[in-house]
Amino acid sequence: MSSSEPVSEETEPMHVNAAPRKPQILLAASGSVAGIKFGNLCHCFSEWAEVRAVATTASLHFIDRASLPKDVVLYTDDDEWSSWKKIGDNVLHIELCRWADIMVIAPLSANTLGKIVGGLCDNLLTCIVRAWDYSKPLFVAPAMNTFMWNNPFTERHLMLIDELGISLVPPVTKRLACGDYGNGAMAEPSVIYSTVRLFLESKTQQGGSNIQ
Ligand SMILES: Cc1cc2nc3c(=O)[nH]c(=O)nc-3n(C[C@H](O)[C@H](O)[C@H](O)COP(=O)(O)O)c2cc1C
């Protein structure tokens, strides 16, 4: 599906007493080699949820657009500007913020991690995060080389991620795409999917959500 599809749709906000509906999940990818798994991640979620996707410019080097489900729109930085012509037009990052019940950034690059904790917003993905309403869940699944993961900045940035209320799906230790062995590989798409789904199901059981 083309990203020129209108994003704005009137849907019930996530609250008690409204009719149950599918979750609306915004999946976002940044520029890690684990972006090769983004199509798989979109397929996992689209069995269960309404999915829209966002990709940074760097992530497009790794994402095979043909691997995405046909009904998933992929928004890029170009769409942010091409969809806005004049005052009064919708602003894409705000519309996507409104639309999403949950956001999942997988893979999360070291660069985007640093930008998020610094409050920087110079592309579609980081503008969405900068405008995010933290009463809604935001998950991140970092993916980077072991040297980057073990760098002191990572620990500092993860502390800030936690303070913001962002949920971490931790990376795993294995042979990385670059050949190095160590921690920093993105959690498997199936693990990211089940983490988010279990979270939402437990929230629904507690009566905190009308999304299934
Ligand atoms: C081949 C290649 C692989 C890369 N893999 C990673 C990676 O796994 N994790 C990471 O954090 N950065 C990785 N980088 C660096 C990022 O792509 C770079 O920092 C980029 O600016 C990230 O932009 P973004 O955060 O806007 O997507 C890689 C770069 C190249 C050229």
Residues 170-188 pLDDT 10s = 999 999 888 889 999 999 9
Q: What separation in Å is there between the alpha carbon of 206 and the centre of ligand 1?
A: 39
Whether the pLDDT of residue 22 is over 60: the answer is yes
Q: What is the pTM of this model?
A: 0.92
Full strand arrangement of the beta sheet holding 102-108: 73-75, 50-55, 24-29, 102-108, 138-142, 167-168
Residue 43 is a catalytic residue: no
Amino acid of residue 61: H
Q: Which atom of ligand 1 is nearest to the CA of 113?
A: 25
The 10s digit of each residue's pLDDT in 34-82 is 999 999 999 999 989 999 999 999 999 999 999 999 999 999 999 999 9
Residue-level pLDDT at 196: 98
CATH 3.40.50.1950 fits 24-205, yes or no: yes
Residue 93 is a catalytic residue: yes
Whether the pLDDT of residue 208 is over 90: the answer is no
Contact 171, 22 (CB under 8 A): no
Is residue 48 helix, strand or coil? coil
154 C-beta closer than 6 A to ligand 1: no
Is residue 188 helix, strand or coil? coil
Whether the pLDDT of residue 8 is over 80: the answer is no
Q: Name the residue ranges covered by the structural domains of the chain.
A: 24-205
Q: Counting beta carbons within 10 angstroms of the beta carbon of residue 204, is it exposed (0 to 12), middle (13 to 18) or buried (19 or more)?
A: middle
Residue-level pLDDT at 2: 44
Residue-level pLDDT at 203: 86
- The mean-pLDDT minimum among 2-11, 62-71, 122-131 falls in 2-11
Confidence label for 14 from pLDDT (cuts 50, 70 and 90): low
- Whether omega for the bond prior to residue 13 falls within 30 degrees of 0, making it cis, is no
